[in-house]
Structure 1
Amino acid sequence: MEVMKGVDLKKYMGLWYEIARIKSKFQPKDGVNTRTIYTLRKDGETMNVLNETWTPNGKRGSIEGIAYKSDPKSVEAKLKIKFMVPPFMPVFPVFGDYWILHLDDNYHYALIGQPSRNSLWILCRENRLDEEIYKMLVKKAADEGYDTRKVCKTYHTEPPP
């Protein structure tokens, strides 16, 4: 699987909206307005992760984690994320792969995957993405071996919460 190289983590920080995904067992099935906020930690190599989603009736759910490079010496954008679950009373860590498969030059949209090809996310700095770009990202996912029939778009309200 081809992974981006030389990603500038400082540029990657900030708010990203989930445009579409292959549903993950760790995400609510009816989540709307899903987004993630990344903030770089003082060491400049790890980042805080805040995932937020809302139910259709407006209840917010969130989970926090920490992301770091799988191999600090590699230039590939292969990250690991550690979440403590359950989020309201952390008991045990859950680790996941977070590979940046595609990122545009302006850090405006991204395709995120995992080596298992069971989870996939299309992210954007806005809560909507041009349909042609969306189709291009879905095609990239298919080219990498993902079952893109499982990709579902995330609903977003206007304005976002």
Structure 2
Amino acid sequence: MNTLRTLLLIVALGLLAACSNEPPNPNPRAAVPLQPAPVDLPRYMGRWYIVALIPYFAEKDMVGSYAQWTLRDDGKIDDQYFGRRKTFDSALKHYRFTDTPVPGTGNGEWRVRVIWPITVTQLTVYVDPDYRYTLIGYPGKTLGWVFSRDPHMDDATYRSLLARFDAMGYDTSRFRRVPQTPDEIGKPGFETIGH
């Protein structure tokens, strides 16, 4: 049943990206293609908290979410997603994916296999020199994520990372922060949690 659910999730994600009902991106750089940033894979591995994202159905109403990336001996990456639906008291959801860095991209572009043979493209568009923050983009700029090694991010750092997305042509008004603690649920600028 999980395999079927995952397959439906990926198909729907593809349809969402292709047929978005969102208004056109007003950013004057919207048509400029995203470029992957070079990544030192061993340094990039580990836990990354999802601080903010452009909301979409698969991660809707998730709180306390994070990714765990592990480099395999074959050069691929075990990609695990963890999060709780609506409240921090709900059961921890867990999904597994396999990622493959694309040769010639400096390890900044990954093909994410959700279920064979379906893959999606994920681009690392920025990682800070200390590997504390990273920005993940999606071709077409319909999806984007702000990741951090720490679940808490100050407003100045968050704004500076959104400014990077803006410079790449994203409509940054669409980003919402992901509650990483119970007191963040319902705060302005955070994703609205349904009831």
TM superposition score category, shorter chain reference? 0.7 to 0.9
Provide structure 2 residue ranges, at least 5 long, that are not aligned to the other structure: 1-33, 183-195
- Structure 1 or 2: more helix by fraction: 2
Residue matched to 2:83? 53
Matches within 5 A, 1:31-70: 31-43=62-74, 45-55=75-85, 56=87, 57-70=89-102
1:101-151: per-residue Cα shift (whole Å, max 9, x none)? 110111111111011101100000010112211111111111211111110
- Between the aligned partners of 1:59 and 1:76, the Cα distance in structure 2 is 33
* Alignment partner of 1:141 is 2:156: no
Give the aligned CA root-mean-square deviation in angstroms. Answer: 1.6
Contact 2:36 2:105 in 1 (8 A): no
Residue matched to 1:89? none
Contact 1:48 1:64 in 2 (8 A): yes
Distance 1:74 1:156, change over 3 A: closer
Q: What percentage of residue pairs aligned between the two structures are identical?
A: 24
* Alignment partner of 1:124 is 2:124: no
Provide structure 1 residue ranges, at least 5 long, that are not aligned to the other structure: 85-91
Distance 1:30 1:14, change over 3 A: same
Moved over 4 A (4+): none
- Structure 1 or 2: more strand by fraction: 1
Q: Name the count of aligned residue pairs.
A: 147
One of 40, 50, 58 as aligned partner of 1:18: 50
The Cα shift of 1:93 comes to 4.8
Residue matched to 2:17? none
TM-score by length of 2: 0.70
- Between the aligned partners of 1:23 and 1:34, the Cα distance in structure 2 is 13
Residue matched to 2:111? 80
The Cα shift of 1:19 comes to 0.2
* Larger gyration radius, structure 1 or structure 2: 2
- Between the aligned partners of 1:145 and 1:156, the Cα distance in structure 2 is 27
